[in-house]
Amino acid sequence: MAALGWLTSRRRSATALSVLAGEASAEAARKAELGQVLEAEAAAAALVPDTAAGARTAVAEAEAEGAGEPAEPVFPVVGDERAAAFFDLDNTVMQGAAIFHMGRGLYKRKFFQTRDLTRFAWQQAWFRLAGIEDASHMEDARESALSIVKGHRVAELMAIGEEIYDEYMADRIWPGTRALAQAHLDAGQRVWLVTAAPVETATIIARRLGLTGALGTVAESVDGIYTGKLVGEPLHGPAKAEAVRALALAQDLDLSRCAAYSDSHNDIPMLSLVGHPYAINPDAKLRKHARARDWRLRDYRTGRKAAKVGIPAAAGVGAVAGGTAAAIALHRRRFTR
C-alpha cells in the first residue's frame, strides 16, 4: 500500500480505522481514474446515450415519478468543475446489494468450500434474527469473507466481476437514479460511486455505467495477490464520509457545491458533508432525518414494492462479508430442502 503522503493529517471524530479505510479508498480511486480514463470514456460512449437532451429528458421522466414536489432551481450547475456527485450503490443506484450478487457469482464458481457454509449461514441468521451488530460475529464474518479471496489474483476477481455484472447486476440499475447521475456527467462534473462493496466490484459497475470511478472497501494485496486483510475497515458509515473528504481534498472539490445520494441512514455522515444531499429510496430513519432538514427526497419504488425491494446494504455484517453471507445462506436453505 503506497504512502498516502498527499493527504493532510488531522484529528477527527471518526475512528482511526474509518479514516484509514476512507483515505485508502480515495487513493485507490484516484489511481484508477488516472490509469483508466481512456477506457472509461470508451465505455461511456459505447454503453450510455451521450446527448444532453436525452439525459435531461430521462431526468424529467424520472422526476415525474415524484410529482407534486416543489420546483427546484436548476441543478447541477453546468461547467462547475469544483462540484462532483457521490452516489451510494446498494438500493440507491442498483436494486439490492452488489456484494450479495457478487457472492452468488462466486458461489456458482466454487469459491466457497462446504465447511464454510454453516459458519456463514449462522452469522447471517444471527444478524437478521437478533437485529444487532455483534462485534465478534462481524469480525468473524469479515475474516471468513476475506479468506475466500486470499491467495487469488486481483486480476482474476476483476475478470469474474465483469461476468457477474452481466449475469446479476446489469438489469437491476434504477433508471431514475441513473438519469440523475447522467445529468451530473452532462454538466461536466465527475460522478463517483461510494460503497461498502469491494472497490474492484464498485469500479466495474462505475465503468459499465460510464461514471468517473468508485470509492469502495479496499482489500490488501501484494504483487497483485490478495493477502486476506483489509486496509482499515469496510467503507461503511463514517468511513464513506472520510473517503469523500479525502477525494475532495485530492481533487480540489468544494463540498458545499457537491451532491450526494443514498437510501440509508448509515450514510448520513456522507450526506451531511455536501451542500446538496439527496435521500433516494430512503429507509425510515433517513426519510425522517431528510424531512427534518429539508433535504430532497426521491423514491423510484412504487406501492408495497417500496418497502420490500432489494437486500439491505450489509449494514452491520461488515459489508465485505454481509452480502456474501446472505448469498451462502440462501443457497444453504435451498440445498437443505
pLDDT at residue number 140: 56
Look at strands 190-198 and 213-217 and give their pairing.
parallel
Quick one: CA dihedral 252, 255, 257, 261, positive or negative? Answer: positive
Contact 88, 195 (CB under 8 A): yes
Q: Cα–Cα distance between 279 and 299 in angstroms, integer?
A: 8
Going by the DSSP 8-state scheme, the letter that residue 223 receives in this structure is T
Sign of CA dihedral 226, 231, 237, 243: negative
Please report which confidence band the pLDDT of residue 312 belongs to, taking 50, 70 and 90 as the band edges: very low
pLDDT digits (tens, 9 = 90+) for 229-284: 888 888 888 999 999 999 999 999 999 999 999 999 999 999 999 999 999 999 99
Distance (Å, whole) CA 247 – CA 28:
10
Express each pLDDT in 215-227 by its tens digit.
998 889 999 999 9
Dihedral of CA atoms 273, 258, 211, 270 in degrees, nearest 10, equals: 10
CA distance 82 to 5: 22
Q: Which of 50, 80, 90, 223 is catalytic?
A: 90
Q: What is the pLDDT of residues 108-134, one digit of tens each?
A: 888 876 555 555 555 544 444 443 444
CA distance 224 to 222: 5
For the chain, the average pLDDT equals 74
Asked whether the predicted pLDDT for residue 135 surpasses 60, the reply is: no
88 is catalytic: yes
Report the candidate in 112, 89, 79 with the shortest Cα–Cα distance to residue 312.
89
The Cα 198–Cα 202 span in angstroms is 6
Catalytic residue among 50, 80, 88, 252: 88
Q: Please enumerate in sequence order all residues whose Cβ is within 8 A of that of 126, keeping only pairs 6 or more positions apart, or say none.
A: 134, 137
Instruction: Give the SS3 label for residue 148.
Output: helix
Note whether 229 and 219 are within 8 A (CB).
Answer: yes
pTM of full prediction above 0.95: no
CA separation for the pair 127, 85 (Å, rounded) = 32
Q: What average pLDDT does range 312-327 have in this prediction?
A: 34
Residue 207, pLDDT score: 96
For residue range 254-264, what is the model confidence (pLDDT) as tens digits? 999 999 999 99
The more confidently predicted of residues 72 and 8 is: 72
Count how many residues are written for the chain: 337
The reported pLDDT for the residue numbered 14 is 61
230 and 217 in contact (C-beta within 8 Å)?
yes
Instruction: Work out the average pLDDT over 61-73.
Output: 48
Tell me the per-residue pLDDT of 83-102, one tens digit each, with 9 for 90 and over: 999 999 989 999 888 887 88
* pLDDT at 204 (0 to 100): 96
3-state SS record for 252-313: CCCHHHCEEEECCHHHHHHHHHCCEEEEECCCHHHHHHHHHCCCEEECCCCCCHHHHCCCCC
pLDDT at 12 over 50: no
DSSP summary character for residue 8: P
Q: Under the phi-then-psi rule, with left for phi > 0, alpha for psi from -120 to 50, and beta for the rest, what region is 237?
A: left
